[in-house]
C-alpha cells in the first residue's frame, strides 16, 4: 500500500482520487468570482489573496540571484538578453503548471511522489539536488540582504540575523495562508524595477536592434545565458509549488484558477527581469559597455543618473530586500518539505511548531541558519549569484526528468497532456535540460 504523505493530504485528497468528502477548497472558483465582482469594495490585500501559490512562487523566482544575473546581463551585453527572457515565459509556465496538477490531483508533494513511484533512494537523490539549489539560493538571498544593509550603514552581522529571525517567525504562525500573504506582500516590492525601466528611457531602435543581435559566439554571453536559464526555472520552485497547493487546501476545482495565476506570475516575473536588463543596459551598459558588477551598491550606482543618489539606493534596497526575503522563505520551505516527505515527518505550515513537527521546523530553521552563516564569508555578491544560477541550470535535467515521469505515471490518464501537447512539453523540457548541461563546460572557466 502506498505510503501516505503525512500531514497534508487530508484536505486535498489522496493519489488522484480528488478531494475527500467535506474537504475545504480554499478559494474555490465561487469565492474567486465573489472577490472579483466585489474587487472595488475590498482592500487590495484581500484581492491579492486569491492568487496564492502561483504568484508566491513566481515572485520568489525573481530572487536576488535572478536580479543580479539580469543586471550583469544588461551591463555587459546591453539588450541582447531581452529576447531569451521573453522566450522563457512559456517554458516557466509549462514546468510550473505540471506541478499544480501533480500536487492537487495526487495530494502529495514532489519528493513524496518520487519516493512512492521510484523508491526512497531516488527521492533522496532528488532532494539532495534540491538542497544544493536551495542552499545556493539562500546564500544569495542573505548576501542581498547584507548588501542592502551595508548601503544604509547597517552591518551584515545585524541585518542577516534579523532577516533570518523574521523568516522563522513568518513560517511559525500556524497558518499557511498567513505565511503566504506575508510572502506575497514582501515580494511585490520587486515591482519597483518596472518604473526604473521606464525612467531609463531606452531608445526603441537600440532596444529592437539589441534584441536580435545576440553574441552567441561569446563565451561570457553563453555563461550568462545559462545563468539566466537557471534563474528562470529553479528546482526548489517545483518542490515548493507542489507542496504549497496542498497546504493551501486546493482541490481539482481550483486547477483552472491556479493555472491562470501561474501564467500571470510567469509573465510578471519575466517582466521584472527584463526591466532590470533594460534599465542597466540603458545606463551602465550604454555609458560603459562590458562593465562587470560585483555588489548591490554598484547596481544602485548605475541608476544614480536616473533617480539620484538617495532614490537609487532606496529603489534597489526595496526591490532587492523584497526579492531576497520571499525567495528565502520559498527555498527553505521547499527543502524542509522535501526532506520531510522522504523521511515521513509531519510537515505543514498549518500546524505550529511542536513535538510532532519538530524535525520539519528544525530543518527549515537550520537551512536558514546555514545560508545566513555562509554569506558572511563572501563579499562578491554578483559573481556568487550568477554561479548559483548556473548550478540551478546544471541540476535542471534531474528535476525535469522526474517531473515528466511523474506526470506520465502519477496522474490519472485524463489529467495528463495528450497528443501534440505532450510531445511539445517533452521537447521543451528536453531542450531546457540540454542547455542546462552546457553549464558544465561553461562554468569551468569560459566566462
pLDDT digits (tens, 9 = 90+) for 132-185: 889 888 988 998 899 899 899 999 899 999 999 999 999 999 999 999 999 999
pLDDT in tens, 46-103: 444 456 788 899 999 999 888 988 999 999 998 999 999 999 999 999 999 999 999 9
pLDDT score of 438? 65
pLDDT score of 378? 63
Q: pLDDT band for 242, please (50, 70, 90 cuts).
A: very high
Whether 349 shows a pLDDT value over 90: the answer reads: yes
Contact call for residues 410 and 113 (beta carbons, < 8 A): yes
Q: pLDDT band for 17, please (50, 70, 90 cuts).
A: very low
Cell of 160: 542577516
CATH topology of domain 42-442: Amino acid/polyamine transporter I (1.20.1740)
Task: Quote the CA–CA distance of 390 and 393 in Å, as a whole number.
Answer: 5
Cell of 242: 507542489
Q: What is the mean pLDDT of the chain?
A: 82
Mean pLDDT of 251-275: 91
Whether 37 shows a pLDDT value over 70: the answer reads: no
Mean pLDDT of 185-210: 90
Contact call for residues 323 and 184 (beta carbons, < 8 A): no
Q: Find all residues with CB under 8 Å of 17, minimum gap 6, and list them.
A: none
Whether 369 shows a pLDDT value over 90: the answer reads: yes
pLDDT score of 288? 78
Whether 34 shows a pLDDT value over 50: the answer reads: no
pLDDT score of 51? 67
Task: Quote the CA–CA distance of 317 and 303 in Å, as a whole number.
Answer: 12
Q: Find all residues with CB under 8 Å of 205, minimum gap 6, and list them.
A: none
Cell of 169: 517567525
What are the extents of the domains in the chain?
42-442
Exposure b/e, 177-197, CB count within 10 A at least 16 = b: bebbbbbbebbbbbbbbbebb
Amino acid at each position: 500500500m502506498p505510503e501516505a504523505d503525512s500531514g497534508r493530504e487530508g484536505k486535498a485528497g489522496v493519489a488522484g482520487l480528488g478531494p475527500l468528502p467535506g474537504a475545504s477548497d480554499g478559494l474555490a472558483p465561487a469565492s474567486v468570482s465573489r472577490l472579483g465582482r466585489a474587487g472595488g469594495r475590498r482592500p487590495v490585500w484581500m484581492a491579492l489573496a486569491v492568487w496564492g501559490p502561483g504568484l508566491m512562487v513566481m515572485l520568489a523566482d525573481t530572487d536576488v540571484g535572478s536580479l543580479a544575473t539580469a543586471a550583469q546581463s544588461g551591463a555587459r551585453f546591453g539588450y541582447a538578453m531581452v529576447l531569451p527572457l521573453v522566450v522563457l515565459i512559456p517554458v516557466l509556465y509549462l514546468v510550473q503548471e505540471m506541478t499544480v496538477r501533480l500536487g492537487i490531483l495526487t495530494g502529495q508533494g514532489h519528493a513524496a511522489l518520487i519516493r512512492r513511484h521510484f523508491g526512497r533512494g531516488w527521492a533522496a537523490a532528488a532532494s539532495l539536488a534540491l538542497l544544493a539549489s536551495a542552499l545556493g539560493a539562500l546564500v544569495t538571498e542573505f548576501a542581498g540582504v547584507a548588501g542592502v544593509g551595508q548601503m544604509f550603514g547597517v552591518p551584515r552581522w545585524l541585518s542577516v540575523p534579523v532577516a533570518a529571525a523574521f523568516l522563522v517567525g513568518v513560517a511559525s504562525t500556524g497558518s499557511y495562508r498567513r505565511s503566504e500573504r506575508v510572502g506575497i506582500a514582501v515580494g511585490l516590492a520587486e515591482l519597483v524595477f518596472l518604473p526604473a525601466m521606464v525612467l531609463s528611457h531606452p531608445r526603441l531602435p537600440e532596444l529592437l536592434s539589441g534584441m536580435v543581435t545576440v553574441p552567441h559566439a561569446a563565451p561570457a554571453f553563453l555563461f550568462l545565458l545559462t545563468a539566466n536559464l537557471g534563474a528562470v526555472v529553479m528546482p526548489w520552485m517545483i518542490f515548493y509549488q507542489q507542496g504549497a497547493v496542498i497546504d493551501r487546501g486546493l482541490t481539482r476545482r481550483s486547477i483552472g484558477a491556479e493555472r491562470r495565476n501561474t501564467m500571470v506570475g510567469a509573465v510578471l516575473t519575466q517582466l521584472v527581469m527584463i526591466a532590470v536588463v533594460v534599465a542597466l543596459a540603458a545606463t551602465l551598459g550604454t555609458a560603459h559597455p562590458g562593465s562587470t558588477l560585483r555588489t548591490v551598491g554598484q547596481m544602485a550606482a548605475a541608476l544614480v543618473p536616473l533617480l539620484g543618489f538617495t532614490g537609487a539606493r532606496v529603489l534597489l534596497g526595496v526591490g532587492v530586500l523584497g526579492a531576497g526575503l520571499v525567495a528565502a522563505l520559498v527555498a527553505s520551505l521547499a527543502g524542509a518539505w522535501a526532506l520531510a516527505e522522504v523521511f515521513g515527518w509531519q510537515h505543514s505550515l498549518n500546524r505550529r511548531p511542536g513535538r510532532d513537527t519538530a524535525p520539519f521546523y528544525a530543518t527549515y530553521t537550520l537551512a536558514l541558519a546555514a545560508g545566513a552563516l555562509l554569506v558572511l564569508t563572501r563579499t562578491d555578491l554578483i559573481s556568487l549569484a550568477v554561479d548559483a544560477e548556473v548550478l540551478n541550470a546544471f541540476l535542471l535535467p534531474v528535476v525535469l526528468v522526474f517531473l515528466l515521469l511523474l506526470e506520465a505515471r502519477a496522474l490519472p490518464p485524463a489529467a495528463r497532456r495528450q497528443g501534440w501537447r505532450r510531445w511539445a512539453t517533452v521537447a521543451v523540457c528536453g531542450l531546457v535540460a540540454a542547455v542546462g548541461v552546457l553549464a558544465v563546460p561553461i562554468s569551468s572557466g569560459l566566462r
